Chains A and B, each alone.
Chain A
Amino acid sequence: MATIPLDTAPPKAPTALEWIRKNLFNNWYNSLLTIAGVTLVYFALVSIITWAFTSANWRPITVAPLLYLVGQYPREELWRAGLSLLIISLLLGMSWGVWRNYVRLFAIFLGVLFAVLAVFPLDTPTITVPIRLVMAASAGMVFLGYRLGRIKTILGRYVATLWLVAMILIPLVILPGFSNSSVLPKVPTTVWGGLLITMILSVGGIVLSFPFGVLLALGRRSSLPVVKWFSIIFIEIVRGVPLVTILFMFSIILALFLPTEARIDRVVRALMGIVFFSAAYTAENVRGGLQAIPPGQEEAAKALGLKNFQITSLIVLPQALRLVIPTTVGQFISLFKDTTLVYIVGINDLLGIGNAILNLNPEFVRLQMEVYLFIAVIFWIFSYFMSYASLQLEKALGVGKR
């Protein structure tokens, strides 16, 4: 076997010690900075951890964990929320099996979290054995879904269709029920709350506003004056108004103008406001992507005899949307966090529930820190996984295609 002469072999990777010396202690002020930084981080971590495990009082969270999850959803109908959770867990698992990287981390995390929650010691009577069983079953569902997703015949598009069905079924059938049904009696949205509302508003907002935004972006470039001006006026007006104002308009003014029998549900009204708001921003993001596609692409497609809508859907949009993944996901993350604003129109989302618990019980008055930290961590987890998935998607789509 021939050996590679030393001078043509690639340089060896530095050892850990060499790396530390070269990057952290290469001169006196860098050494000083390193020592100061490490000390700071050490003391910050130690004090946070000691606070969290000794002096912090997590009672506002442990006393009513169900409130954070589903709000006032009637406890005798809780099985419907449980069923929804099981469906979502199964689909999440299947997505993990089919799409691998994008959801793997999130699915494993949630599966483990459910398993931990199933046995987590809480001395509150609200967490009954059936609830713990549902949590354990959800953890099982994630991994069962993964096994299902790994079967060759289950394709991505089936899973996507199932997600779509679940997204229609859960918020429109399973959770609200029907006014004259004995199996699924009506549960008005006034008692929905917590993470349930946050999820409905943010997932609904993202899923509905995206196609709407793409249409607006295309409309803005349309050669039909009516379509073009409608899009421009819509986008510019909505972008010029704060989300709070839009939420107020939809929850109060819309209710005033519509006759009582045509009242739209207040969660739906808030969702409409969020969708309008997000669609205008999505439209501008997508327009940026559309502008980045060289005119030669459209010309080549025209020269081949493709029709306009084929050019848009086969050539222009696939390229433009790929370009705007980072900004669009960024915008969806901020939309996700902005859903907390529905608190001011009287909807008890996750943050609203936290505030309600703090306000209702005098012994919790000084415990904002714990409650807000808990809520912040939940928001961070979801936001992090969104940006993680987007990064994976960019990597997968970028390779070899540009």
Chain B
Amino acid sequence: MMSDQDINSQPIILAKEVHKWFDNFHVLKGINMEVMPGEVVVIFGPSGSGKSTFIRTLNRLEEHQKGSIVVDGIELSHDVRNIERVRSEIGMVFQQFNLFPHLTVMQNITLAPIWVRKWNKEKAEEVAMHLLDQVGIPEQAQKFPGQLSGGQQQRVAIARALAMQPKIMLFDEPTSALDPEMIKEVLDAMIILAKSGMTMLVVTHEMGFARAVAHRMYFFDDGTIVENGTPDQIFKNPQENRTKLFLSQILEH
């Protein structure tokens, strides 16, 4: 679905020299990234390298202290209105699912469309059913999250984020908390989404997923981007020793 016009248009995410500190700990040391509409970006690297923190700055779950981040033409600053606008354009999927346990699956998905997009209930539920169909669990609509398996919960979380019809989807280690046999069902849903032309930033160590759908990969270490390139370049011909070492560690087992 990626047309020529998309490729030639402005980057939808533009991060320049992004710095962040947790107290005295320098987590992000000048991150630069451009993401084009429709691009699928995989971010990987050792834990503590700042990759999760970085994608969380994109919808301002974390504040950056230096540099600039422009999402879909809106610069992230202290302006609350802008932050809310950006957040409604960006969907996010978390490692721990973070579904609302007191609401049914249907209510989880329709909550934001009803309260933020101001859709009526019928429209929101129609869209929700369609999305549940897409992630393969339409029969679970009236259950509570606690009654679902981890894989099903994460697919509900994906549907919940998609219900806002976002332009960008962020995935923060979406399969790390899952039992091995459930990883595939979540990755399958993500692959379908990637092939539909959604702009995606995915923090993950699932290299099979990266190889299958990523347009570009970024290797983070120690708060910086060590290397980036297409999956081909990264897997076949990594330039930096740190990248080679890390890849060998996660691909070995």
A contact residues vs B (CB 8 Å cutoff):
294, 296-297, 299-307, 310, 314-315, 318-319, 322, 400-402
Q: Is the CB of A401 within 8 A of B61?
A: no
- With beta carbons under 8 angstroms apart, the residue of B61, B102, B115, B164 that contacts A302 is B61
Give chain A residues whose Cβ lies under 8 Å from the Cβ of B111. Answer: 304, 306, 314
Interface range on chain B (Cβ under 8 Å from partner): 20 to 34
Q: Is the CB of A304 within 8 A of B94?
A: no
Q: Is the CB of A296 within 8 A of B98?
A: yes
User: Of all chain B residues, which has the CB nearest A295?
Assistant: B98
- With beta carbons under 8 angstroms apart, the residue of A294, A299, A318 that contacts B61 is A299
Going nearest first, the 6 A-B pairs with the smallest beta carbon separation are: A305-B88, A300-B98, A304-B112, A303-B92, A296-B98, A305-B87
Nearest Cβ on chain B to A47's Cβ, whole angstroms: 51
Q: Is the CB of B144 within 8 A of A306?
A: no
Give the contacts of B156-181 with A (CB-CB under 8 A).
Answer: 157, 160-161, 164
Q: Is the CB of A296 within 8 A of B115?
A: no
Q: Is the CB of A299 within 8 A of B94?
A: yes
Give the contacts of B89-115 with A (CB-CB under 8 A).
Answer: 90-92, 94, 96, 98-102, 111-112, 115
Please tell me if B191 contacts chain A, counting CB pairs below 8 Å. Answer: no
**Most A-side CB within 10 Å, residue of B92, B99, B102:** B102
A-B contact pairs, 23 of them (CB 8 A): A296-B94, A296-B98, A300-B98, A300-B100, A301-B100, A302-B61, A302-B87, A303-B61, A303-B90, A304-B87, A304-B111, A304-B116, A304-B160, A305-B84, A305-B87, A305-B116, A315-B100, A319-B100, A319-B101, A319-B102, A401-B102, A401-B144, A402-B101
Instruction: Beyond the given A303-B92, A304-B111, please list 7 additional residue pairs across the A-B interface where CB-CB is below 8 A.
Output: A303-B161, A306-B112, A315-B100, A322-B102, A400-B143, A401-B144, A402-B146
Give chain B residues whose Cβ lies under 8 Å from the Cβ of A307. Answer: 84
Give chain A residues whose Cβ lies under 8 Å from the Cβ of B90. Answer: 303
- With beta carbons under 8 angstroms apart, the residue of B94, B112, B143 that contacts A305 is B112
Please tell me if B59 contacts chain A, counting CB pairs below 8 Å. Answer: yes
CA distance A400 to B146 in the complex (A): 7
CA distance A302 to B144 in the complex (A): 21
Please tell me if B147 contacts chain A, counting CB pairs below 8 Å. Answer: yes
Q: Is the CB of A304 within 8 A of B98?
A: no
B contact residues vs A (CB 8 Å cutoff):
59, 61, 84-85, 87-88, 90-92, 94, 96, 98-102, 111-112, 115-116, 143-144, 146-147, 157, 160-161, 164
Nearest Cβ on chain B to A94's Cβ, whole angstroms: 27
CA distance A306 to B94 in the complex (A): 17
- With beta carbons under 8 angstroms apart, the residue of B98, B100, B115 that contacts A310 is B115
User: Of all chain A residues, which has the CB nearest B62?
Assistant: A299
Nearest Cβ on chain B to A300's Cβ, whole angstroms: 4
CA distance A144 to B201 in the complex (A): 62
CA distance A305 to B165 in the complex (A): 12
CA distance A348 to B161 in the complex (A): 59
Nearest Cβ on chain B to A133's Cβ, whole angstroms: 47
CA distance A398 to B102 in the complex (A): 9
Nearest Cβ on chain A to B46's Cβ, whole angstroms: 23
Nearest Cβ on chain B to A279's Cβ, whole angstroms: 25
Q: Is the CB of B91 within 8 A of A303?
A: yes
- With beta carbons under 8 angstroms apart, the residue of A296, A315, A400 that contacts B96 is A296
Give chain B residues whose Cβ lies under 8 Å from the Cβ of A310. Answer: 115
CA distance A294 to B84 in the complex (A): 22
Q: Is the CB of B87 within 8 A of A303?
A: yes
Nearest Cβ on chain A to B141's Cβ, whole angstroms: 14
CA distance A300 to B143 in the complex (A): 19
User: Of all chain B residues, which has the CB nearest A307?
Assistant: B84
Nearest Cβ on chain A to B92's Cβ, whole angstroms: 4
Give chain B residues whose Cβ lies under 8 Å from the Cβ of A302. Answer: 59, 61, 87
